[in-house]
Structure 1
């Protein structure tokens, strides 16, 4: 069989892509370098970094993170394994700026606007260091890391998965560090999935660590996926359960269905926003509030572009 140069090139590309896909299943390559680079960046430019991070040693911070899971089986990392790391990276979130989310990851990041409006866990020091990275340990590899395979969060036979334990503990710390009113962004149009799930990270780790002593109110914002019919709102379904849990903890709450600012942000995230009825704003032109919100969103986007 004759293989042309073009065929060979396509084969090489295919092999490279396959190798990358396999590597992506394990610990992120060069994770230590990425971690320390992010640490040094955050010390200089991170949100509120001058108050706590400027004096930190990034190598010591990495070692505290690494020791929590390295040389361990990937399903044998307890929730408290990262406690030393949490202590080093402890950060008080500015009052009234904490944002929790479930089923709205991309939207919550846009809502937070890199800390201009609010903070999600990914804007904090502990979250920023490992955001979008993958890691797990190996008891046989000399590096202590498994670069071939890390189990996913939802594998039933892996209750102490390294990343799940990290984000569970980090979620608890984020809630404990939050003061004043907090935001909670949920998705009211997830098909058969409820907006609030008792076993979500918010339900398991964040809600139980919000307290009447520190938190004045939980401001619930329900977003609706573009083009989908909402199956839950502030007064139905899982939101009733959520309100009961908040009330049992003595926490005040408010709830708003599909507020305009979230609708605009969803349209900004959409690949083809003009194809959605919700993104046709002609009928809103008479609303001063609508214009103010839209202008604010455009201003935030401009600031983010400038800063980056």
Structure 2
């Protein structure tokens, strides 16, 4: 039975590869979530009319009223109903296996919106939560179930619904950044490959811009002309999307060199620009 749940576990590992699976609920969860919500509606999206207390209440009820491994996607429906968000066209940025780099890219360019830039994504980013085995007894701050043992892990279910909503709101041109230095840069079991890609509407999305970025020191395993990226391109073609693909994006290269200026390839690039 555990094997049946591996795709969900893999997606969680991609989302939270720096978090331990045997940790309990993040300490001070309520204060963190509410604080982020108030910060978002005050500083990031001033003028938005979200009721942070209501969002927290619906989130809490979804988690603690059910066993730790039985929080389904639909159990968060009331929470998402309390936090609807319209996103501007031509700004959505998807990613897989490029988490930190993508958020640096988004912050510097100020032209894109990732899932973690939305209200729900901002509120719950990098947090862990689960209820106690005895329902209605609050959050378990000692230990949450391992992701690979849960069909309906409370963290996974929330992010799956958030990802579905994010993809469904996509319109105009969208961008996806994948890691060309990893095998299966496009993975059908990742959150992008299994949830977001299927949620894109070809009648709403004009163009899918694929950007493949490899580590400066290599290796180059996947690119626009080889590896798993070709599988992604074939899916886009089959579903009627228009697309472009580049693995030599200048802005991404400059950002990499800003972060790693001593790399030989960056020094050569700098000299060629003089």
- Tell me the TM-score range normalised by the shorter chain: 0.7 to 0.9
- Aligned partners of 1:24, 1:37: CA distance in 2, in Å? 25
Normalising by the residue count of structure 1, what TM-score does the alignment of the two structures yield? 0.77
Specify which of 82, 85, 90 is matched with residue 79 of structure 2.
85
Q: Which residue of 2 aligns with 1:8?
A: none
Q: CA RMSD in A?
A: 2.1
Shift of 1:143: 4.4
Q: Which residue of 1 aligns with 2:230?
A: 240
Deviations 1:205-263 (A, max 9, x none): 11111112211011000000121220111011111110111112211110000312112
How many equivalent pairs are there? 255
- Aligned partners of 1:22, 1:203: CA distance in 2, in Å? 23
Q: Which residue of 1 aligns with 2:41?
A: 43
Corresponding position: 1:110 with 2:110: no
SS of 2:80's partner is: helix
Gaps of 5+ in 2: 1-18
Shift of 1:24: 8.4
SS of 1:182's partner is: strand
Structure number with higher relative contact order (C-alpha < 8 Å, ≥ 6 residues apart):
2
Say if 1:217 and 1:253, in contact at 8 Å, map to a contact too: yes
Q: Which residue of 2 aligns with 1:257?
A: 247
Gaps of 5+ in 1: 1-20, 287-308
Corresponding position: 1:148 with 2:142: yes
Q: Which moved more, 1:72-81 or 1:34-43?
A: 72-81
Say if 2:172 and 2:204, in contact at 8 Å, map to a contact too: yes
Q: Which residue of 2 aligns with 1:123?
A: 117
- Aligned partners of 2:146, 2:245: CA distance in 1, in Å? 33
Say if 2:26 and 2:129, in contact at 8 Å, map to a contact too: yes
Cα distance, 1:23–1:29 mapped onto 2, change above 3 Å: farther
SS of 2:205's partner is: coil
Say if 1:224 and 1:258, in contact at 8 Å, map to a contact too: no
Q: After the TM superposition, which parts of structure 1 deviate over 6 Å for at least 4 consecutive aligned residues? A: 21-24
Normalising by the residue count of structure 2, what TM-score does the alignment of the two structures yield? 0.86
Cα distance, 1:26–1:103 mapped onto 2, change above 3 Å: same
Larger radius of gyration: 1
- Aligned partners of 1:202, 1:107: CA distance in 2, in Å? 16
SS of 1:216's partner is: strand
Shift of 1:115: 7.7
Q: Which residue of 2 aligns with 1:189?
A: 181
Say if 1:39 and 1:58, in contact at 8 Å, map to a contact too: yes
Q: Which residue of 2 aligns with 1:201?
A: 191
